[in-house]
Amino acid sequence: MGGEIEAIDRDAVDSLIGWWLEAGVDAAVGESARDWLRRSQAMQPAAPTVTNVSEPNPETLAELREWLASSVQIPLASATAKRILPHGPGDAAIMLLSDAPALEDLASGQPIGGQAWQLTLKMLAAIGVNADEAYSASLSCIHSPGARMSDKDRAECADIARRHIALAKPKRLILFGDGPSKALLGEPLTRARGRVHRIEGVRAVATFHPRWLLQRPPDKALAWRDLLLLMSEND
- Domains of the chain (ranges; CATH) run 81-231 (3.40.470.10)
pLDDT digits (tens, 9 = 90+) for 114-127: 999 999 999 999 99
Alpha helices in 42-147 (DSSP H): 61-70, 103-108, 114-126
Higher pLDDT, 23 or 113: 113
Mean pLDDT (whole number) for 133-147 = 87
Per-residue pLDDT at 216 exceeds 50: yes
CA dist., res. 200 & res. 162, Å (int):
7
Per-residue pLDDT at 176 exceeds 80: yes
> Of the segments 9-13, 37-41, 151-155, 216-220, which one has the largest average pLDDT value?
216-220
Higher pLDDT, 151 or 16: 151
Contact indicator for 68, 141 with CB cutoff of 8 Å: yes
Confidence class for position 62, pLDDT limits 50, 70, 90? very high
> DSSP of 148-199, one letter per residue?
---HHHHHHHHHHHHHHHHHH--SEEEEESHHHHHHHHSS-HHHHTTS-EEE
Residue 14 is predicted with a pLDDT of: 63
In this prediction, what percent of the chain has a pLDDT beyond 90? Answer: 58
Residue 78 is predicted with a pLDDT of: 83
CA dist., res. 35 & res. 77, Å (int):
17
Mean per-residue pLDDT of the chain: 83
Confidence class for position 221, pLDDT limits 50, 70, 90? very high
pLDDT digits (tens, 9 = 90+) for 71-93: 888 888 887 788 999 999 999 99
| pTM beyond 0.85 | no
pLDDT digits (tens, 9 = 90+) for 24-57: 665 554 445 555 455 444 444 343 343 444 455 5
Residue 139 is predicted with a pLDDT of: 94
